[in-house]
């Protein structure tokens, strides 16, 4: 029987981890407070890491921890103890590294599964083989690798796990090794603090032989260095699976719970369909991925090098989405009574959709809500973000289901 691929989701905090597993992820990748390449994320302190692994393992899921910063000398002394904590106390399933010095420290201080990060820029089979010989069990290929390249790498190095990105943001620089943000405002992309300066609007000037400067305009006026569209592979995910990869990675530790849940749910359904032997692309998958905030989609490098059509030129309206998350079902009290955590303002009488971890969205009409403020419980007709309300809804809804609003332009 063919080994099933791992569906790997981002977990920027515990809530996102919980949503990722509920909606079908096999594993999550996350960062600790130390040595992780997402400085702006919540990340997990040591106590939270221990709890995250317990939660995952109780559900037969896995946790990979990112140790993928490009470190300097003053950070190396603290690494051995942290690696030992990850293995012996937290019990994580493996670590993701980009630096050879960190690789050596992990090998010296643990028996952890090691993944070579996409930051290591692996684009050919010899590089992959070298990482294997140095102790890596898995290589996360660079995003700049085509489908044909993946097949060749698999053919030359058949006994190493291969992980590829299937959804999320794309970077203008090979494997994210960029100095633009650091140069512009002192925020280092290789330290997890990228300001995405490539996506800003610029006025470009050209200097002629006489020293005169003339403005350079793009067709739509603002000039961009590289404001890439987002990667989306749902239309050809079967071809990626045919190539023999071991893990499908969804980018986005900084994204919200609706993004994580929706992306995982769609790709979970597609992967399941593949292994059932009756895979056929469904347009509803792409429509569902378009419900969440995203830049327009591109196939990235999978079939050819990105061209001018792979960029978003209008930075003022770079993102689009057809739906907005308004609440999460925090608790099911009885057959028709629920506790909702409100994320965007909701109103009695409005028609909303409930998105669960299986099946099609359900239409509901929001009833009057019960809310408690300063020990006084009252019925209300609207509820603001960050409030918690009790509602009675005659529909089959479950804990962690998401309630969303169709945006006017999507109707």
Distance separating alpha carbons of residues 58 and 52, to the nearest angstrom: 10
| Local mean pLDDT, 10-residue blocks, the chain (411 residues) | 88 96 98 69 89 98 93 90 97 97 97 96 97 98 95 98 95 68 71 70 74 68 69 97 98 94 98 95 96 91 77 66 96 94 97 94 95 80 95 94 90 53
Q: Which helix (H) or strand (E) element contains residue 104? A: helix 100-109
**Domains plus CATH for the chain?**
6-174+227-320 (3.20.20.70), 323-410 (2.40.30.10)
The reported pLDDT for the residue numbered 156 is 98
The reported pLDDT for the residue numbered 34 is 76
User: Is there a contact between 324 and 407 (Cβ–Cβ < 8 Å)?
Assistant: yes
User: Is there a contact between 315 and 199 (Cβ–Cβ < 8 Å)?
Assistant: yes
Sheet holding 323-332, edge to edge: 362-365, 351-355, 402-406, 323-332, 337-342, 388-392, 369-373, 376-380
Determine the length of the chain.
411
The reported pLDDT for the residue numbered 378 is 87
Matching residue, tokens 């009057």: 368
Distance separating alpha carbons of residues 404 and 236, to the nearest angstrom: 28
The reported pLDDT for the residue numbered 189 is 67
280-324 per-position pLDDT tens digit: 999 999 999 999 998 889 999 999 877 666 666 665 557 789 999
Instruction: Give every CB contact of residue 58 below 8 A, 6+ residues apart in sequence.
Output: none
The reported pLDDT for the residue numbered 140 is 97
SS3 of residue 137 by DSSP:
coil
SS3 of residue 30 by DSSP:
strand
The reported pLDDT for the residue numbered 185 is 77
93-109 per-position pLDDT tens digit: 999 999 999 999 999 99
């Amino acid at each position: 029987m063919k080994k099933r691929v791992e569906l790997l989701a981002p977990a920027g905090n515990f809530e996102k981890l919980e949503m990722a597993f509920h909606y079908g992820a096999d594993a999550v990748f996350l960062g600790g407070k130390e040595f992780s390449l997402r400085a702006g994320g919540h990340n997990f302190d040591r106590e939270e890491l221990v709890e995250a692994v317990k939660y995952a393992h109780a559900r037969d899921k896995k946790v990979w921890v990112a140790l993928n910063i490009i470190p300097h000398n003053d950070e190396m002394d603290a690494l051995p103890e942290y690696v030992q904590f990850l293995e012996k106390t937290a019990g994580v399933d493996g670590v993701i590294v980009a630096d050879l010095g960190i690789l050596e420290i992990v090998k010296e201080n643990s028996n952890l599964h090691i993944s070579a990060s996409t930051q290591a820029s692996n684009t050919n089979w010899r590089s992959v083989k070298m990482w294997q010989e140095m102790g890596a069990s898995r290589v996360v290929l660079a995003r700049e690798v085509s489908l044909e390249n993946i097949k060749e790498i698999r053919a030359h190095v058949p006994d190493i796990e291969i992980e590829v990105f299937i959804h999320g943001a794309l970077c203008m620089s090979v494997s994210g090794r960029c100095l633009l943000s650091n140069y512009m405002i002192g925020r280092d992309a290789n330290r997890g603090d990228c300001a995405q300066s490539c996506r800003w609007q610029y006025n470009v000037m050209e200097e002629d032989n006489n020293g005169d400067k003339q403005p350079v305009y793009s067709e739509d006026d603002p000039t961009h260095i590289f404001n890439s569209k987002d990667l989306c592979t749902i239309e050809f995910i079967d071809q990626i699976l045919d190539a023999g990869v071991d893990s499908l990675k969804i980018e986005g530790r900084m994204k919200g719970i609706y993004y994580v849940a929706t992306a995982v749910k769609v790709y979970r359904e597609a992967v399941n369909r593949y292994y059932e032997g009756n895979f056929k692309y469904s347009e509803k998958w792409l429509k569902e991925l378009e419900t969440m905030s995203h830049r327009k989609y591109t196939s990235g490098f999978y079939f050819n090098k990105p061209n001018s059509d792979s960029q978003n030129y209008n930075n003022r309206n770079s993102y689009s989405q057809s739906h907005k998350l308004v609440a999460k079902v925090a608790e099911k009290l009885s057959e028709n009574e629920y506790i909702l955590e409100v994320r965007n303002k909701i109103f009695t009488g409005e028609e909303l959709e409930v998105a669960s971890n299986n099946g099609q969205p359900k239409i509901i009409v929001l009833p009057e809500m019960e809310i408690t403020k300063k020990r006084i419980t009252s019925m209300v007709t609207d509820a603001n973000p960050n409030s918690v309300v009790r509602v009675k809804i005659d529909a089959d809804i479950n804990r962690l289901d998401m309630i969303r609003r169709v945006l006017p332009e999507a109707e």
